[in-house]
Chains A and B, each alone.
Chain A
Amino acid sequence: MVSGSPMIEVSRLTKVYGTQPVLRDVSLSVPAGAVLTLLGPNGSGKTTLLRLLATLARPTAGSGRIGGHHLVDGRDAVRRLVGLVGHGSHLYDDLSAIENLAFAAALVRLPADRVTLMAALASVGAEGQATVRVRELSSGMRRRVALARALLRRPQVLLLDEPFAGLDHDGAKRLEATLHAFKAAGGTTVFVTHSLGRGLALADRVAILARGRLAVDEPRGTLTPEGLHRLYLAAVEGEA
């Protein structure tokens, strides 16, 4: 990839379910190695945008590219670049953590030897629970295993939907460390959150969705928490 060209670039992305537009004319770009924080009230289209980027849904109109690959025509290439941690953990409750990773590795054609999988679990601090069934794990530990699953493919882009929800202090610290390490290795991150403070702390760029439209898309720059709060309220109320 040419340096400086955006890792993620979408233009006039629109998604309509039935006759209900969920996302309208969203254009944005994220440079490689950057973190985009996506904010917005419930139902503003954040999750839909993530699903479009992850190639789990097709845009009704508009287009997008990740790593130069088209979201629809190049979706197999996009999938090799992207790791997704959505609302669901993508884990089977009746399999152990390591069995889940082995299954995930088989699906994406990666070696599924024990050493690799244990290393993946260790990278999120879940190696102690490798043989415990997911059903019996705490919700924080499940999130760690889900993250390990998404990182298994060594993605260049991470898409995270509310990754901090339900994490305790220790878990949140660990996740932050993992995200920093991912960024330091050149990874690009889009993460959806309700927490303005957390979002601002990690962001290189902040975007706010309101009723399916992109209301704010700014570099973090000198944005203060108070400033972001004002922007958020203006974006949400401006639409109401």
Chain B
Amino acid sequence: MTRSRALGTLAALLVLAGLAAGLGYAPPDAVQGNVQRIMYLHVPAILTAYAAIGVVLIASIAYLGGRNAVWDRVAAAAGELAVCFIALTLVTGSIWGKPTWGTWWTWDARLTSTALLFVIYLGYLLLRSVVDDRERAATYAAVVGIAGALDVPIIHFSVQWWRTLHQPATVLRPQAPTMDGAMLAALAVNVAAFLCTFAYLASRRYRLLTLEAEAASRAWR
């Protein structure tokens, strides 16, 4: 309990530090001005989403290895957060796109592949919710969790090629070679803040799922 509280406190402090760094410490972008500051949300969000997808993958393999319900709950918690962080990526990308490209949505490679991930993991959660039998739900979810993660790099490359064979790469590239040191530092703080927030929320969600499972098994005992 206290460990979880400590993690929560750390996450909150890092988020505050990240806001300060992103809004104050980092200089405005030479081309885009203050608009570019949304990168400090956008990039950590997608990196955290990838981390969550990785957790789903590992927990899914572990679940199939031993059918231990613990891993199913880890996967469930991480899967829900993956959808949240992917959604955050899409929203921030869209807000960033409006002043930059003059439109809320564009078929940019990154936005497109993120949108695909959103649909895949939404389907993952949907599958979890429609299967009545707990063990069956866990097994199916594990298989989809593995297949989804395997598809991530393939989707990335296919969408990338699909776009770049038409038009040059867009501005929405965080690892632009011109990024200065203060910007990188601010980005790093925000990435840490997001990962910590993810870890905290996942641990709380895991705890809740464990309690629910215990309550359910007590109901028929």
Contact = CB atoms under 8 A, between A and B. Distances in A.
B135 interface: yes
> Chain A interface residue count: which class?
under 10
A19 B133 contact: no
B98 interface: no
A21 B132 contact: no
B133 A17 contact: yes
B207 interface: no
A18 B135 contact: no
B220 A16 contact: yes
A77 to B, nearest CB: 19
A75 interface: no
Contacts of B133: 17-18
Contacts of B176: none
Contacts of B132: 17-18
A58 B135 contact: yes
B216 interface: yes
A138 interface: no
Contacts of B219: 19
Contacts of A18: 132-134
Interface in A44-68: 58, 60
A16 B216 CA distance: 10
Interface in B172-221: 216-217, 219-220
Contacts of B220: 16, 19-21, 24
A133 B135 CA distance: 37
Interface string B115-142: 0000000000000000011110000000
Nearest to A212: B220
Contacts of A24: 220
Interface string A19-39: 111001000000000000000
Nearest to A60: B135
Interface string A74-112: 000000000000000000000000000000000000000
A19 B135 CA distance: 12
Contacts of A21: 220
Nearest to B131: A18
Nearest to B217: A16
Nearest to B67: A58
Nearest to A58: B135
Nearest to A17: B133
Contacts of A17: 132-133
* Most-contacted residue by chain A among B132, B133, B216, B220 (CB, 10 A): B220
A16 B135 CA distance: 10
A222 B217 CA distance: 41
Given A18-B132, A18-B134, A19-B219, 6 more contacts: A16-B220, A17-B133, A19-B216, A19-B220, A20-B220, A60-B135
Interface of A: 16-21, 24, 58, 60
7 contacts: A16-B217, A17-B133, A18-B134, A19-B219, A19-B220, A20-B220, A21-B220
